[in-house]
Structure 1
Amino acid sequence: MMYPKIPLAQTVVQLCKAKQIKHIIISPGSRNAPLTIGFTNDNFFKCYSIVDERCAAFFALGIAQQLQEPTAVVCTSGSALLNYYPAVSEAYYSKIPLIVISADRPEHLIGIGDGQTINQKHVFENHILFSANLKLDLKEESNVPVTGDLPIIKNLENKFERFLGLQKDIQSFNAEAINTAINLAMKKSGPIHINVPFDEPLYETTDKLLIIPEAINEPSEPSLIDYAVIMSCVDDWHTAKRKLILVGCNTPNSIEQKWLDKLSEDESVMVMTETTSNLHHSSFFPSIDQVIAPLDEEEKQQLQPDILLTFGGLIVSKKIKALLRSYKPKQHWHIDTEGANDTFFCLNKHIVATPNDFFETFLSKIAHGEKSSYKNNWTLIKQERLRKHQLYVDQIPFCDFKVFDILVKSLPNNSILQSGNSSAIRYLQLFNLNKTVEVYCNRGTSGIDGSTSTAIGCASVTSKQTVFITGDLSFFYDSNALWNNYIPKNFRIIVINNQGGGIFRILPGNKDSETFDNYFETTHNLNAKHLCRMYGLEYESVSNENDLKQKLTTFYSNGMAPKLLEVFTPRLVNDKILLDYFDFIK
C-alpha cells in the first residue's frame, strides 16, 4: 500500500479512517497532494473528484445530510478554500457534520507575496464549531539551535534528540487538535475546519505507515432530562386550552409514531407541520400558509396559543413567523439537545433533550386537561380551505401553481424529494405530499446557491430515486453541479423556468420598470437544453398542462442517463395567480 511520506498527511488520513469518515470529496490541486495520495490509496475511503469547490462542498453536504454521518471535503491552498464558505454556513445552521480539510502553505510563505496564499487560519470563524490549525512537520535538515562547545558528534546527537522531541510535540499537538475537531463535529452535528500546512516536496510516497495516531473517542453521554423542568411543563400544559406544536425541518423517521398518535388525541393541541418536517398524521395541519394567510384579526386572536411547543430545524413559513410575533404565545418551549432559537421573541424554556426522550417522559405524565375546542374549530377551517384549494386549482390556467399541483401528485412512492429554495419550497408548502416521500431542502441559510449539488450528493449515496425540483435562477446559478461523474441514472431534475426570479414579483414593489426586470427579477431567455447535452443528461421540455402530464408518465421510469424536464411557465401571470389564491380560499 502507498502512503504519503509526510507524517502530518498520514496523521490526518489515519484519524479520518479511525473516525469512520468514509466519503471524501477532493478538488484538484497541488498543495493538497499528500492528502489526495493518502485518501485515494486506501480502499476504506470512497473518494470523489469534483473540480468546483463550491459544488464539491454542497455535494458533500448532500451526502452527510442523507447518511447522517460526517463527510469530508479536501482542497488546495488559497482561494479554493473560500469557495467552501456557502456550504459551511449552510452546514452550521442546518447542523450537518461537514469536515473541511484544507492544505496550506508553511507559515513563513504567507503574507510575503507567494502564490496561492491567503490567511487560512480561522477563515470560517463565525460559522464553524472548531478550527484546528495544525503545525508543520519538522524536517531532519531543520536548523535546530544547539548551544555549548560540545564536540561535533555530541552536538549532532543532541541536535537529533532535540529534533525528535520537537517533532513528537508537534505530532501530539496535531493529533489532539484533529481528534477534538472531529469529535465536536460528531457530537454537535456541525462543520469543523482542519487547516494542514505542507512544505515541499509534496508528492513523495512510502510503503510504510510512519504514524499511527491514537483516535480519542468521547464517550457518549446519557440523555439527562431535567425532571423539574418537565413537571413545570406538565402543570402549565394541563391548564392551557390552546396548545400549538410547530415542527420545522426534521429528519425522516426520527420521531416515533406513537408520540404523534398520542398528541393527535388531545383536542387542545394543534400540530402544524412544514413540508420539510417529514411528519404525517391525518389530524395534523400541513400547508400552514393555506390555513393562516386568509385570517382576519379576530381569527388570528383565536389562533393565538397559550403554549407554543417547537422542535426541528428552521421554519420556512414567513406567515407563521409574522403571526406568532404579533400574537405571541404566553409561553414558547423549544426541544433541542444543543440550542434554541428565539424565533418569535418569546422563548422562555429550552428543553435540553431529543423530542423522543422529551415526549416519552412528558406524555406519560399528561392526563386529560380542560375541555377545549381549539383543534376541532381549526380542523373545520382546514377542511374548508382544502375544498376551496381544489376549486381554485381546477379553474386556473397553466402557471407555476398548476405545475406544482401536478408535480406533487406525480412523485413516485418511497422517493426522495430535494427542493430548491425561494419559490420552489414555498409552493411545495401549499400542497399535501405523499407521506412516503422524504423531503429535504437547504433551509439553514435558505440560499439558492448549492441546491443542485446537494441533491446530487444525496442521490449518489441512496438506493431511492431522488427528484430535484428547482427554479430556473437557482439551477443556472449552480449549473457546475452537473460537472461530475457521480449522478445516478435514476436522478431526475425538474426546472420550473419562468424566465427570471419570479418570487420577486410576489413581493411589494414596482414590477413594471426596467430596474425591476434587470436587478430584481433578472429576466432572461436561457434554457437547459445545451447544458444537458454537454453533461450527458436526457432533456425534455413542456409549456402546457397536457404535455406536462404526458411527459410525467414516463419521466421517472428507468433510463440510460439522468433526466431533466424543463417546464416553461408564463412569467407575467404567476404572481397574480398566487396572490389571488389566498383571497379565494378565505
Structure 2
Amino acid sequence: MKHPKIPLAQTVIQLCKAKGIKHIIISPGSRSAPLTIGFTNNPFFKCYSIVDERCAAFFALGIAQQLQEPTAVVCTSGSALLNYYPAVAEAFYSDVPLVVLSADRPKHLIGVGDGQTINQKNVFKNHILYSANLKLDLDEKVEVEEELPIFKNLENKLETLLGLKQGIQDFNETEINKAINIAFSKSGPVHVNIPFDEPLYDMVDDLSVNPKSISAENKPLEIEDSILESCINDWNAASKKMVLVGVNQPNDIEQQWLDILAKDDSVIVFTETTSNLHHNEFFPSIDKIIAPLKDEDFKNLQPEILLTFGGLIVSKKIKAFLRKHKPKQHWHIDFNKANDTFFSLSQWIKTTPNYFFSKFLSEVKTEESDYKPNWNTVKSLRNNKHNTYLKAIDFSDLKAFEIILNNIPNHTILQLGNSSTVRYAQLFDLDKTLKVFCNRGTSGIDGSTSTAIGCAVANTKQTTLISGDLSFIYDSNALWNNYIPNHFRIIIINNQGGGIFRILPGQKNTENFDRYFETKHQLTAEHLCKMYGFEYESVSNVSDLKNSLNSFYSESDQPKLLEIFTPKNLNDEVLLHYFKSI
C-alpha cells in the first residue's frame, strides 16, 4: 500500500483510521495532495470526490447526520477552506460531528504574497468546538544552520534536532487526538489545520511514524441529587406542565418515557415535524393549534413549568407565545448547551433525556387535570377545520403540500428545505414511520440539497427532498456529484421566487419587492436534470400531481425530480386565509 512520504500526513491519516472515521470527502487541490494520496490508497476509507467545497461539506454533514459519527472533509489551502463555513456553522448549531482537514502553506510562506494563501489559523473560531493548528514536520535533510539559525552555536545539533522533531510529532499527535475526540464526545465540528511543504506528491511503501491513539473520556450519565429532588418537587406541585421538543433524532427517546408523559393530564407535549416523536396524546402541528388563539386563551395555555429537549424550534408562534407568557420555570435537558430561547431558562440539566426521564418519571405523580383534556378539544376542532379548508381551496402551495405529504412512502426518509418548505410541513401530521430531517441549526437555504444527497448515500432507505425553487437553484452544484443513488427523489415547489416574503409583512406586488425580496424568476430545473442525469417531470395542477406521484417513487435507473409550479399570486392568500379559517 502506498503512503504519503510526509510524516504529518501519515499521522493524520492513521489517527483518523484508529478512531473509525471512515467517510472522507475530498475536494481537489495540490497542497492537500499528501492527505488525498493517503486516504485514497487505504482501503479502510470510503472516499468521495466533490469539487465544490461548500457542497462537499454539506454532503459530509448529511452523512454524519445519519450515521451520528464524524465524517471528514479534505481541502487545499486558501479560499477553498472558507467555502466550508456554512456547513461548519450548521454542524455547530445542529450538533453534527464534522472533521475539517485543511492543508496549509508553511508559516514562512504566509503573509508574503504567495498565491492561494490566507490566514487559516482559527478561521472558524466563532463556530467550532476546537481548532488544532499543527506544526510543520522537520525534514531529516534540512540544512540546520541555514534554516534554523538557533542551532548555529550548539554542539549537539543532531541530538537537539531529533528532540525538536519528536516534540513536534508529540504536539501534533496530541492536537489531532484532542480534536477528533471532541468531535465524538461533544458531537460537533472541529478543524485541523495542516501545514505541508513541497514536495507534496512523494510516496513511500512503509510508514515512518506510528502515532498513539488516545481514547476520548466518556461523560458520566448523572444528575446531582439536589437538582433531581428539586425538579421532582416542583413538577409535582405544578398543575400545568408543557414539554416542547425541538429537532430530535428518530428513535432517540425510549417509548416508555413518552407513554408516561402521555398519560398525565397535567402535561401537554408539543412536537414539531423535526422532533420525530409520535403519540396520539401529543400535540403536533403547533402553529395549527395556537395561531388562532386570543390573549385569554394563551393565558390558559401558559405553563408553570416548561421542559424542553432537542435542537432548535421552528415555530415562531410558539416562541412568541412563550416569550410573552413566560413559564415560571424553564428546564432544558442537554449534555452540551442550553439556549435561553424564551428568556426564562432556570435549570440546565446536563445529561441525556433518556437518563433524566429514567430517574425522574418514576418519582413524579400523575395528576388529574383539565389542562390537556381542554386542549385536546381544541386540537380536534383545529383538525376538523384544517380538513374542511383543504377540501375547498384551489391548487396552491398549501394544496400541493397536502398531496405530497400524503403520498410520501412509509418507512422512508424525508429531508426538508428551509424557509417556506419546513413551515408548510409543520401544518400536517406526518406518518410516524417517516424519519424527518432539516438543517435547522442556521436555517439557511444554502445546503439542503447537498445534505439530502449525503443522507441518501449513507442510507439504503429511499430519501425524498422537498425544496423551494430558490433553495434548490442556490445549491444546484449539489447535483455535480457522482454518488447520487437511483432511489433519491427531489420535489421542488416552484412559485417563481421567494414565496415566504409574500407571507411576511411588506409591500407586495411592487417592482422593488419583486426584484429585491421575492426575486422573481422564470427558471426551471429541466436543463439541470438533463445535464446531471435526473429523470424530470413537471406538473401545475391537482390531477397531474396525483398522477405523477403514483409512479414517482417506483424503482428507476436514475434519480428523479418532480417540479411543481404553483400560482405565486395566490399562495400567500390561501395560507393567510387558512389561519383565519381554523
Structure 1 residue 147 displacement after superposition: 4.6
Q: Which residue of 2 aligns with 1:420?
A: 417
What RMSD over aligned residues (CA atoms) do the two structures have, in Å?
A: 0.9
CA separation of 1:148/1:373 partners in 2, compared to 1, >3 Å: closer, same or farther? closer
Among 261, 264, 269, the alignment partner of 1:263 is 261
Structure 1 residue ranges (4+ consecutive) displaced by more than 6 angstroms after TM superposition: none
Q: Which residue of 1 aligns with 2:480?
A: 483
Structure 1 residue 219 displacement after superposition: 3.2
Q: Is the 8 A contact 1:144 1:162 kept in 2?
A: no
Classify the secondary structure of the residue corresponding to 1:364: coil
CA distance in 2, matches of 1:338, 1:555: 41
Residue identity matched to 1:70: P
Residue identity matched to 2:85: Y
Residue identity matched to 1:448: I
Q: Extract unaligned runs of 5+ from structure 1.
A: 150-154
Structure 1 residue 140 displacement after superposition: 2.2
Task: List per-residue Cα deviations over 1:385-406 (Å, max 9, x = no partner).
Answer: 0000000000000000000000
Q: Is the 8 A contact 2:34 2:201 kept in 1?
A: yes
CA distance in 1, matches of 2:44, 2:384: 55
Alignment of 1:422-461 (within 5 A): 422-461=419-458
Task: List per-residue Cα deviations over 1:94-128 (Å, max 9, x = no partner).
Answer: 00110000000011111111000000000001000
Q: Which residue of 2 aligns with 1:365?
A: 363
Q: Which residue of 2 aligns with 1:300?
A: 298
Classify the secondary structure of the residue corresponding to 2:569: coil
Q: Is the 8 A contact 2:182 2:216 kept in 1?
A: no
Q: Which residue of 2 aligns with 1:65?
A: 65
Residue identity matched to 1:390: N
CA distance in 2, matches of 1:186, 1:147: 44
Q: Which residue of 1 aligns with 2:342?
A: 344
Task: List per-residue Cα deviations over 1:120-170 (Å, max 9, x = no partner).
Answer: 000001000110000001122323344559xxxxx6xx3332222111111
CA distance in 1, matches of 2:250, 2:49: 29
Q: Kindly indicate whether residue 316 of structure 2 is the aligned counterpart of residue 318 of structure 1.
A: yes
Structure 1 residue 218 displacement after superposition: 2.1
Residue identity matched to 2:347: K
Residue identity matched to 2:16: C
CA distance in 1, matches of 2:328, 2:160: 66
Q: Kindly indicate whether residue 567 of structure 2 is the aligned counterpart of residue 570 of structure 1.
A: yes
Among 216, 226, 229, the alignment partner of 1:228 is 226
CA distance in 2, matches of 1:425, 1:219: 37
Count how many residue pairs are aligned between Structure 1 and Structure 2. Answer: 577
Classify the secondary structure of the residue corresponding to 2:361: helix
Residue identity matched to 2:54: R
Q: Kindly indicate whether residue 10 of structure 2 is the aligned counterpart of residue 10 of structure 1.
A: yes
Structure 1 residue 342 displacement after superposition: 0.2
CA distance in 2, matches of 1:79, 1:119: 10
CA distance in 2, matches of 1:112, 1:529: 47
Residue identity matched to 1:237: W
Q: Which residue of 2 aligns with 1:238?
A: 236
Q: Kindly indicate whether residue 78 of structure 2 is the aligned counterpart of residue 75 of structure 1.
A: no
Q: Which residue of 1 aligns with 2:176?
A: 178
Classify the secondary structure of the residue corresponding to 2:84: helix
Residue identity matched to 2:249: T
Residue identity matched to 2:512: T
Classify the secondary structure of the residue corresponding to 2:551: helix
Among 166, 169, 182, the alignment partner of 1:168 is 166
Alignment of 1:49-60 (within 5 A): 49-60=49-60
Classify the secondary structure of the residue corresponding to 1:540: strand
Q: Kindly indicate whether residue 520 of structure 2 is the aligned counterpart of residue 523 of structure 1.
A: yes
Q: Is the 8 A contact 2:71 2:99 kept in 1?
A: yes
Q: Which moved more, 1:196-205 or 1:135-144?
A: 135-144
Q: Kindly indicate whether residue 117 of structure 2 is the aligned counterpart of residue 120 of structure 1.
A: no
CA distance in 2, matches of 1:569, 1:195: 47
CA distance in 2, matches of 1:541, 1:221: 51
Among 510, 515, 518, the alignment partner of 2:507 is 510
Task: List per-residue Cα deviations over 1:538-574 (Å, max 9, x = no partner).
Answer: 0000000000000000000100000000000001000
CA distance in 1, matches of 2:499, 2:386: 22
Structure 1 residue 216 displacement after superposition: 0.3
Residue identity matched to 1:180: K
Structure 1 residue 212 displacement after superposition: 1.0
Q: Which residue of 2 aligns with 1:327?
A: 325
Q: Is the 8 A contact 2:243 2:268 kept in 1?
A: yes
Classify the secondary structure of the residue corresponding to 1:126: coil
Classify the secondary structure of the residue corresponding to 1:127: coil
Classify the secondary structure of the residue corresponding to 1:73: strand
Residue identity matched to 1:74: V
Identity %: 67
Structure 1 residue 230 displacement after superposition: 1.1
CA distance in 1, matches of 2:577, 2:153: 89
Residue identity matched to 2:457: S
Residue identity matched to 2:201: Y
Q: Which residue of 2 aligns with 1:88?
A: 88
CA distance in 1, matches of 2:124, 2:365: 48
Task: List per-residue Cα deviations over 1:204-257 (Å, max 9, x = no partner).
Answer: 000001111000012323211112111111111111111110000000001000
Task: List per-residue Cα deviations over 1:449-469 (Å, max 9, x = no partner).
Answer: 000000000000101100000
CA distance in 1, matches of 2:85, 2:219: 31
CA distance in 1, matches of 2:225, 2:423: 39
Residue identity matched to 1:244: M
CA distance in 1, matches of 2:38, 2:572: 53
CA distance in 2, matches of 1:141, 1:3: 20
Residue identity matched to 2:487: N
TM normalised by structure 1 equals 0.98
Q: Is the 8 A contact 2:66 2:458 kept in 1?
A: yes
Q: Which residue of 1 aligns with 2:148?
A: none
Task: List per-residue Cα deviations over 1:476-521 (Å, max 9, x = no partner).
Answer: 0000000011100000000000000000000001002111000000
Q: Which residue of 2 aligns with 1:469?
A: 466
CA distance in 2, matches of 1:82, 1:368: 52
Task: List per-residue Cα deviations over 1:18-48 (Å, max 9, x = no partner).
Answer: 0100000000000000000000000000000
TM normalised by structure 2 equals 0.98
Structure 1 residue 263 displacement after superposition: 0.5
